[in-house]
């Protein structure tokens, strides 16, 4: 796998395999300098492909990737899995003026959750064994921006709150288009801290040059700060300065 990564210049690979001993396995691997950085092997419990009759996102559109769930926040292994999903699905980072609202037409939702043994025994449509209690669900949705007055078919309407439609704002509707994956973590190899630190170093050539007294907010907008010294308002010349001086002389 490292040779293939070096040959094709790839930093991420996804390998699917099924055998009698290890059925329905999905392996995500990240590479750094043509060597394995981390690897995660999942046992696929349920899978549903993309529906051919549904409208699909535009080719080449950048998806919105959301990873939610308590394991992604508390467990170090699942924190690394979350960054791996971001690197796999999100693509290049786009910020600031390059964002286009109508260009967001694809959502990938990754959910990590924990179930007890009673809920595990009730499920009968899964594939393979279920020894782990933490599961990961991957769902794919098509994003629609409809006008408030536009009616949406009930079969495509997953969640729409009329109270959120204010001042003619578009109504966001999510329609599921398939790619449902439910899986559990079987094996993992988390990255070494020293190697991960060197892998996250940004070269100086691509680092943006820092401009003095100019900052950038989360939306990519530049905000400048001007430092002005203390002003002496007593020497300020105004249109009524002559009238005030005459009044002061008359009082004297």
Structural domain includes residue 35: yes
Residue 164, pLDDT above cutoff 80:
no
- With tokens 């991420």, the residue in question is 12
Q: What is the pLDDT of residue 156?
A: 47
In-domain check, residue 240: no
Q: How confident is the model at residue 248 (pLDDT cuts 50, 70, 90)?
A: low
d(C-alpha 30, C-alpha 12), whole Å? 5
- Return the ∠ at Cα 218 (arms to 209 and 165), rounded to 5°: 155
Q: What is the pLDDT of residue 103?
A: 75
In a domain, 205, yes or no: no
CA distances 14 to 73, 84, 106, 167, 208, Å, are: 24, 11, 21, 45, 32
SS3 134: strand
Q: Which pLDDT score, from 0 to 100, does residue 182 have?
A: 92
Residue 110 pLDDT > 90, yes or no? yes
Tokens representing residue 138 in the block = 């991957």
222 in a structural domain:
no
Note down the domain range covering 189.
1-200
Q: What confidence score (pLDDT) does residue 192 get?
A: 87
Q: pLDDT digits over 49-105, tens only? A: 887 777 888 887 888 899 999 899 988 899 999 999 998 888 777 665 566 677 788
Report yes or no: 111 and 85 within 8 Å, Cβ to Cβ: no
The DSSP element (H or E) to which 77 belongs, if any, is helix 76-89
Query: Which pLDDT tens digit goes with each residue over 171-225?
Result: 778 888 888 899 999 989 988 888 888 888 877 777 777 778 888 787 777 888 8
* 142 lies in some domain: yes
Nearest of 2, 72, 14 to residue 44 by alpha carbon: 14
- pLDDT value at residue 239: 66
Give the tens place of pLDDT for each residue, 117-155: 554 444 444 443 444 488 999 999 988 877 655 555 554
Q: Do the domain assignments include residue 190?
A: yes
Residue 12 in any domain: the answer is: yes
Domain membership of residue 116 (yes or no) is yes
Number of domains observed in the structure of the chain:
1
């Amino acid at each position: 796998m490292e040779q293939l990564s070096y040959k094709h210049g790839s930093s991420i690979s996804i390998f699917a395999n099924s055998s009698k001993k290890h059925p329905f396995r999905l392996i995500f691997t990240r590479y750094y300098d043509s060597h394995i950085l981390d690897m995660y092997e999942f046992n696929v419990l349920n899978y549903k492909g993309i529906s051919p009759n549904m409208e699909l996102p535009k080719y080449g559109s950048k998806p919105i990737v959301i990873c939610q769930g308590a394991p992604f926040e508390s467990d170090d292994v699942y924190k690394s899995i979350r960054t791996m999903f971001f690197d796999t699905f999100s693509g290049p980072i786009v910020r600031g003026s390059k964002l286009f609202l109508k260009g967001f037409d694809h959502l990938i939702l990754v959910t990590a959750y924990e179930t007890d043994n009673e809920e595990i025994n009730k499920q009968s449509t899964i594939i393979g064994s279920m020894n782990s209690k933490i599961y990961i669900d991957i769902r794919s949705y098509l994003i629609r921006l409809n006008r408030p007055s536009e009616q949406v078919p009930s079969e495509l309407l997953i969640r729409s709150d009329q109270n959120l439609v204010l001042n003619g704002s578009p109504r966001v509707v999510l329609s599921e288009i398939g790619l449902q994956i439910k899986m559990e973590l079987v094996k993992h190899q988390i990255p070494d801290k020293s190697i991960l630190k060197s892998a996250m170093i940004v070269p100086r050539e691509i680092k943006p040059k820092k401009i003095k007294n100019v900052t950038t907010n989360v939306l990519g907008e530049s905000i400048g700060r001007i430092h002005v010294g203390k002003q002496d308002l007593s020497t300020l010349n105004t249109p009524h300065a002559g009238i005030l001086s005459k009044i002061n002389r008359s009082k004297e």
